[in-house]
Amino acid sequence: MEKSLLIVVLLVAVSTVIDVLYLIISLVRNGLTKKNRQNKNYDAKKTILLFLMMLFTPVIGEVFFFGSVLVQKIFFRQVSNLEGTATFDKSKVESRNPANLERDMNLAPMEEALAVSDKQGLRNLMLSVVKGDVTQYLSSITKALNSEDSETSHYAASVLRDELNNFNTKVTELKNKIEVADTVEKVALCDELLSFMNVFLSQNVFHGIEKENYIRIMEEVGEDYYKTAPAEMTVEQIGWLSVQLMEIEDMELCEKWGKRSLELYPNSLPTYTNRLKLYFKVDNREKFFETLEDLKKSRITVDKETLEIIRMFENR
């Protein structure tokens, strides 16, 4: 009897020591470090609750808690949708194009203002937005064309007319220069033209035949670039071409650029993401899962966009 009581006392004592160590270590690592100082209250509360649970259920509490942690580490540490071959990228992402906060703050109010009857406020807001470089905001300005206020729609039409005329002029000018340029100059001009055209075309300000014609021009520039200096083309530029060709449903050319991207950048995520988009659009299950299998083997970190494409295709 005394021996059994001694064993129980020892177990309780050991459990208490473990609980206290857990409390101290957890608070220091998760609640008191400089990195986690903003979450101190939440982490401390969670830690204390777990500590009390284990303290009042000696042995059983520790077995349950540490057992669940062990099971989680073994069976649930990888992304199930990719069968454990790809992981989330949790690192910080630095934007190459810092936001223009003042301008961006005006865009959403402008779209909301189109639905109300405050004409003077809408006019003032439109004038504020269209000052300066509006190249990145043509899609929002296009929505103002259908405004019931004639002056607002006039502002929008004037801006769009000027911007689209400038677009056409610059595309023609750069394309003519590319045709007579030497290799070094051609690379620089192709870089400039592809980037310039992508900004406009990605905002869907063109429609029908006009849109298709410009996408064809963009593809021709890409083809010239590829034949001149394929290694100089970036995976982003190839991705732009793929996306635009999907817009006009030219899947043959889109797949051609997908293969070129794979040849040039076999270890880059956009290479696989753009091919997955293509096979998703044409509902080609065989090639979709072949591409997915190649992505798994590459061990490339998968982003949210790619995971969403995979989930959507699997749920069809």
Handedness of CA 294, 300, 302, 306 (dihedral sign): negative
- Going by the DSSP 8-state scheme, the letter that residue 135 receives in this structure is G
Residue 294 tokens, joined = 């190649």
| 20 occurs within a structural domain | yes
Give me the pLDDT at residue 113, please.
52
- Among 71, 106, 125, give the residue marking a domain's end: 71
* Domain enclosing residue 304, as ranges: 163-314
Based on the fold, state whether residues 170 and 304 are members of the same structural domain. yes
Based on the fold, state whether residues 177 and 59 are members of the same structural domain. no
Give me the pLDDT at residue 154, please.
75
| 225 occurs within a structural domain | yes
Q: Which residues contact 313 (CB under 8 A, 6 or more apart)?
A: 276, 280, 285, 288
State the Cα angle at 203 between 305 and 165, rounded to 5°.
155
Phi, psi (degrees; rounded to nearest 5) at 93: -115, 125
| 28 occurs within a structural domain | yes
Number of structural domains the chain divides into: 2
Answer yes or no: are the C-beta atoms of 215 and 201 closer than 8 Å: yes
| 79 occurs within a structural domain | no
Give me the pLDDT at residue 82, please.
40
Based on the fold, state whether residues 169 and 308 are members of the same structural domain. yes
Give me the pLDDT at residue 30, please.
60
Q: What string of pLDDT tens digits covers the 316 residues of the chain?
A: 666 777 777 777 888 888 788 778 777 766 554 444 444 444 567 777 777 877 788 878 777 777 777 766 665 544 434 444 343 343 433 334 444 544 454 444 555 555 545 556 555 655 555 555 667 767 767 776 766 667 767 777 887 888 889 999 999 999 999 999 998 999 999 999 999 999 999 888 888 899 999 999 999 999 999 999 999 999 999 999 999 999 999 999 999 999 999 999 999 999 999 999 999 988 888 999 999 999 988 888 888 888 999 888 877 7
Length of the chain: 316
Based on the fold, state whether residues 171 and 34 are members of the same structural domain. no
Based on the fold, state whether residues 168 and 272 are members of the same structural domain. yes
Angle at which helix 2-26 crosses helix 60-75, to 10 degrees, equals 50
- Among 29, 44, 71, give the residue marking a domain's end: 71
Give me the pLDDT at residue 118, please.
53
Give me the pLDDT at residue 84, please.
40
Answer yes or no: are the C-beta atoms of 300 and 272 closer than 8 Å: yes
Give me the pLDDT at residue 1, please.
61
Give me the pLDDT at residue 79, please.
42
Based on the fold, state whether residues 168 and 37 are members of the same structural domain. no
Based on the fold, state whether residues 169 and 66 are members of the same structural domain. no
- Among 12, 42, 71, give the residue marking a domain's end: 71
**Strand partners of residue 87:** none
| 149 occurs within a structural domain | no
Based on the fold, state whether residues 45 and 170 are members of the same structural domain. no
| 56 occurs within a structural domain | yes
Answer yes or no: are the C-beta atoms of 144 and 130 closer than 8 Å: no
| 144 occurs within a structural domain | no
pLDDT digits (tens, 9 = 90+) for 103-140: 454 444 555 555 545 556 555 655 555 555 667 767 76
Give me the pLDDT at residue 101, please.
45
Based on the fold, state whether residues 64 and 186 are members of the same structural domain. no
Based on the fold, state whether residues 167 and 67 are members of the same structural domain. no
20 sits in which H/E element: helix 2-26
For the chain, the three-class secondary structure string (H helix, E strand, C coil) is CHHHHHHHHHHHHHHHHHHHHHHHHHHHHHHCCCCCHHHHHHHHHHHHHHHHHHHHCCCHHHHHHHHHHHHHHHHCCCCHHHCCCCCECCCCCCCCCCCCHHHHHHHHHHHHHCCCCCHHHHHHHHHHHHCCCCHHHHHHHHHHHHCCCHHHHHHHHHHHHHHHHHHHHHHHHHHHHHHHCCHHHHHHHHHHHHHHHHHHHCCCCCCHHHHHHHHHHHHHHHHHHHHHCHHHCCHHHHHHHHHHHHHCCCHHHHHHHHHHHHHHCCCCHHHHHHHHHHHHHCCCHHHHHHHHHHHHHHCCCECHHHHHHHHHHHCC
Question: Residue 171's domain is classified under what CATH number?
Answer: 1.25.40.10
| 137 occurs within a structural domain | no
State the Cα angle at 234 between 230 and 237, rounded to 5°.
105
Give me the pLDDT at residue 139, please.
73
Give me the pLDDT at residue 94, please.
39
Angstrom distance (rounded) from CA 241 to CA 235 = 10
Answer yes or no: are the C-beta atoms of 280 and 247 closer than 8 Å: no
Based on the fold, state whether residues 195 and 305 are members of the same structural domain. yes
pLDDT digits (tens, 9 = 90+) for 155-194: 778 878 888 899 999 999 999 999 999 989 999 999 999 9
pTM, full prediction:
0.59
